[in-house]
Chain A
Amino acid sequence: MANIQDKIAKLFPEATFEEGEFLLINIPDEKLHSLCETLRDDEELSFDYLVTIVGMDWKESLGCVYYLTSTKTNAHISIKVSTTDRENPALTSVADLWKIACILEREVYDFFGIVFVGNPDMRRLFLNIDWKGFPLRKDYDTNPELNPVSIENERQTDDTYVYTRDEKGNLVKNVSKVFEEGDFVVNIGPQHPATHGVLRFRTAVDGETIKKIDVYMGYIHRGVEKLCENLTYPQTLHYMDRLDYFSAHNYHHGLCMCIEKAAGIEVSRRVQVIRVLMDELSRIASHCLFIGTYCMDLGATTMLFYTLRVREQILDIMEKTCGARMTFNYSTIGGVMQDLHPDFVKDVKALLAVIPANIKEYNKVFTGNIIAKNRMEGVGVLSREDAISYGVTGPSGRASGWACDIRKTDPYSIYSELDFEEVTATEGDSMARFKCRLAEIEQSAHIIEQLIDNIPEGEIQAKVPKVLRLPAGHWFQLMEGCRGVFGVYIESDGGTSPYRLKIAPPCLNLAAVVDHITRGDKIADLITIGGSLDYIVPDMDR
C-alpha cells in the first residue's frame, strides 16, 4: 500500500491520502481523469475493475467516492472527489475508462444532481424526467405534492444530454439522441414474462437483428437508500431481504459484517458457521430457481417443476429455523435471530443426499438437449475484458473467465478455511453461464458438507449495545451474493442511523451489459441472453 501511495504522490503532487481500511486518495476534479487512467493502465497498479461510485452529499459539498479493485493483485483503493457548487455541480466523467461508469454516473446524477462532463448519456436513470429535486440530497423536499403519484403516462423523450466545457471552462449542455433517425424501436417490457420482473428494453432493430438496446429502469425503484438514512442500524437490515430476495441471507450477512466491522463487534464461530451455511443454502436455492425459470424462458416448462422440488426442500429447512420462506430477517448485528432448529442437521443431510441425483437429472433432461445447445452455445458472448470493464461479476463474470469470487479474492467470515473450487469457464456464452451455475450448486453442497458435522457450540448473539452508534467514519464491505459482488458502503456521523448507506448491487451491472452483448444478435436471443445473466430487477433498482 505504501509504495502505491508513494508512486501516486510522485505523479500527482496535489493528491492527499487518508489511511483507512483501503487507501483513500483525495484528488481535485481536474486531475481525476488522469489519475484514474494511471491507476487503470499502469502495469504495476492495474486497478481495472470499478466496483462502484458512491454519490455523497456532505452538506457543504457534493461529491463521489470511487472504489477500484485490481483484478491482478486483488488490492483495493478508493478515490474521493468533491465540488462545493451545489447549484450546478459538475465532475469529470470516467465513462471512457470503464464502461459501467456510464450507468453508475447516471445513478449519481439521478440521486444528487451531479453532472458528469463527458458522459455520453447524461439522463435520469430511475426517476421520471420531470422529477423535481434530487432525492438523496440532504435538503431534498419530501413533500409528496411536488412529485405526486400520477396515473398519466410519464413524458418520454429520445433526447439525452452530453455536457462539455468550452474554452473558458463553462459548462455546455448539448442535446443528442438515444436512437438514430429512422431507427425502428420495439418496446419490450415492463410487463413482459421474460424480462424477469419489471424491466423495460427499448430495442432498436434492423429486421430481426438488434442494433441497440436502451435499458429503461426504475419500475421498481423503492428508494431503499434514502429510507435507511432515517432508520437505526438494526432497522436497516430487513431491506436487504427485499433487494435480491434470493440472496436474502447473503445480503443480510454483508450488511451485518459491515456494521460489525464499524462497531468492532466480534461474532462467535458458531454464528459464522451458521451464516455461511445459510448463505450456501441460499445459493443452491437461488441457482435452482435460475435453472427453472431460465429453462422456462427457453420453452422447457417442465424443468421448473424439477428444480423447484429442491428449492422447496431448502425453503422448508429455512422455515424451520428462520420462520419464513423468503424474507428471513435472520442475521442480526452480532449474531443470528434464533438458534438452529433441532432438525436442521438431519434435514440438510437429507438435502445433500438428493442434490447429486437432481443435478444428474437436470443435465439429462436439459443440458445435453440439442435444442438447448443450439439456442445457448455461442449466444451472447462476453469477453473477459468486457466483463471486467462492465463489472459483471458472479457466475456470469466467471463464465467469461474472470475469477471474481469474493469468497476467494477477499475471503470473509470463515471462507478462507473452507475447501471449494471457484468455477470458471472461458467461453463466456449463455451455455457457459448456465453451466457455471450448475457447477456452483455442487461446490456449495461441498461447502455445506464440510460444515454440517462441525457446527461449534457457542453464543448465537454477541453483546451489542441497545442503542447502537457507529463512530464517525466510513466503511465498505464486499461479499459474494448469489448473482455477483454485493457491496455496501456506510458513512456515519456518529449517530444512531447511517448518514449514507449505499448499496452496490450486482444486477445493475448485469442489466447494463445487456446492450453490449446483444448487439448484432437476433431479437429472440435477447430472451436467452437476458435469462442467462439472471438479473433481479428490485436489486438493480433498489
Chain B
Amino acid sequence: MPYEAFKDNEYIEQLVEELRASGTNVIVGTFDKLINWGRSNSIWPLTFATSCCGIEFVSLGAARFDMARFGWEVARASPRQADFMMVAGTIVNRMVPVFRRLYDQLAEPKYVIACGSCAISGGPFRKSYHVAKGIEEIVPVDVFVPGCPPRPEAMIYGIMQLSRKIKVERFFGGVNRQENREEYLKSHPVEEQN
C-alpha cells in the first residue's frame, strides 16, 4: 500500500519526529531498522474473541482475506507466544480481570488493537449495567478499528497501521512507547493477588 493511501500519516510522522529529536547512533539505528523490519512483518496475534468481531477475524484468517499474505497468520492460543492482541468483541465486567491478565501475560513488546465499537467504547451496549465502556480504561491501546463488526479489510488496514507503528519504534534504548506504558500501568495498577 503506498504511503499516501494511509489516512493518519501525521501521527506516524509525529512519532518519527520524536525519534529524530532524541537522536540516533548510526550503528544502533541500522540495527533498529533491521529488527523493526523483521518484527513488523511477522506480528502474531493472540486468538482472542468474545463475540461477533471474532467471526470476522476467522474470515480474515481464511482463504479469501488471507492474512498470511502479511505474516499475521500464526494465531497463538497462548498469550506468551503472541505479539499483539486483537480485542474482538465486547468486554464485560466479569471478563475485565481475565482480559487484563491476558494482557499482562503477553510477552514484551506487546500491542493491542481495539477492534469494533464494543471494544472502543462499549458500542451498542454502552448503557448496559455489565459492560466496560471501552478497553482503553483497562489496557493501553495502539490502534482502533471502528465498525460493528469491522470488515476484514478494515482489520487488515488496522493491523497494517500497527505494523507501520512498529517500524518507527526504537528497539534499542527505546523510550517513546515503553515509558508511556509504564506510566499508564502505574496509573491503572493491579492489586496484589494471593
Given the interface pairs A222-B125, A227-B125, the reply to whether A150 lies near B93 with Cβ below 8 Å is: yes
Does A153 belong to the interface (CB within 8 Å)? yes
Interface size on A, residues (CB 8 A): 48
Q: CA–CA, A151 to B102, complex, Å?
A: 12
Query: In the complex, what's the smallest C-beta–C-beta distance from A338 to chain B, in angstroms?
Result: 18
Given the interface pairs A127-B94, A150-B97, the reply to whether A220 lies near B50 with Cβ below 8 Å is: yes
Does A456 belong to the interface (CB within 8 Å)? no
Instruction: Write out, one digit per residue, whether chain A residues 113-152 have a CB within 8 A of any chain B CB (1) or not (0).
Output: 0000000000000111000000100001010100101111
Instruction: Decide if B125 touches A219 in the complex (CB within 8 Å).
Output: no
Partner of B64, one of A152, A218, A308, A537: A308
Instruction: Decide if A223 touches B131 in the complex (CB within 8 Å).
Output: yes
Instruction: Enumerate A350-392 residues with CB–CB distance to B below 8 Å.
Output: none
Partner of B193, one of A153, A192, A327: A153
Instruction: Decide if B131 touches A304 in the complex (CB within 8 Å).
Output: no
Q: Which residues of B contact A242 (CB under 8 A)?
A: 51-52, 124
Does B80 belong to the interface (CB within 8 Å)? no
Instruction: Decide if B125 touches A190 in the complex (CB within 8 Å).
Output: no
Instruction: Decide if A223 touches B193 in the complex (CB within 8 Å).
Output: no
Instruction: Decide if B89 touches A220 in the complex (CB within 8 Å).
Output: yes
Instruction: Decide if A147 touches B93 in the complex (CB within 8 Å).
Output: yes
Nearest-neighbor residue (CB-CB) of A306 within chain B? B63
Q: CA–CA, A308 to B100, complex, Å?
A: 32
Q: CA–CA, A203 to B148, complex, Å?
A: 34
Does A493 belong to the interface (CB within 8 Å)? no
Does A239 belong to the interface (CB within 8 Å)? yes
Does B111 belong to the interface (CB within 8 Å)? no
Q: Which residues of A contact B101 (CB under 8 A)?
A: 153
Given the interface pairs A198-B50, A308-B63, the reply to whether A325 lies near B94 with Cβ below 8 Å is: no
Given the interface pairs A198-B95, A242-B51, A242-B52, the reply to whether A222 lies near B127 with Cβ below 8 Å is: no
Q: CA–CA, A227 to B52, complex, Å?
A: 19
Q: Which residues of B contact A246 (CB under 8 A)?
A: 55
Q: CA–CA, A152 to B98, complex, Å?
A: 9
Using C-beta atoms within 8 Å of the partner chain, give the interface range for chain B.
Answer: 35 or more
Does B56 belong to the interface (CB within 8 Å)? yes
Does A452 belong to the interface (CB within 8 Å)? no
Instruction: Write out, one digit per residue, whether chain B residues 134-170 have a CB within 8 A of any chain A CB (1) or not (0).
Output: 0001100000000011010000000000000000000
Q: CA–CA, A219 to B97, complex, Å?
A: 10
Instruction: Decide if B94 touches A128 in the complex (CB within 8 Å).
Output: yes
Q: Which residues of A contact B132 (CB under 8 A)?
A: 149
Instruction: Decide if B129 touches A226 in the complex (CB within 8 Å).
Output: yes
Instruction: Decide if B55 touches A326 in the complex (CB within 8 Å).
Output: yes
Query: In the complex, what's the smallest C-beta–C-beta distance from A491 to chain B, in angstroms?
Result: 20
Given the interface pairs A151-B188, A197-B49, A245-B55, the reply to whether A219 lies near B98 with Cβ below 8 Å is: yes
Q: Which residues of A contact B191 (CB under 8 A)?
A: 152
Does A538 belong to the interface (CB within 8 Å)? yes
Partner of B63, one of A142, A239, A309: A309
Q: Which residues of A contact B56 (CB under 8 A)?
A: 325-326
Q: A190-B95, A230-B127 are in contact. List 12 more A-B contacts (CB 8 A).
A: A127-B94, A150-B97, A152-B193, A220-B89, A223-B125, A224-B125, A245-B51, A308-B59, A312-B62, A327-B149, A537-B51, A538-B90
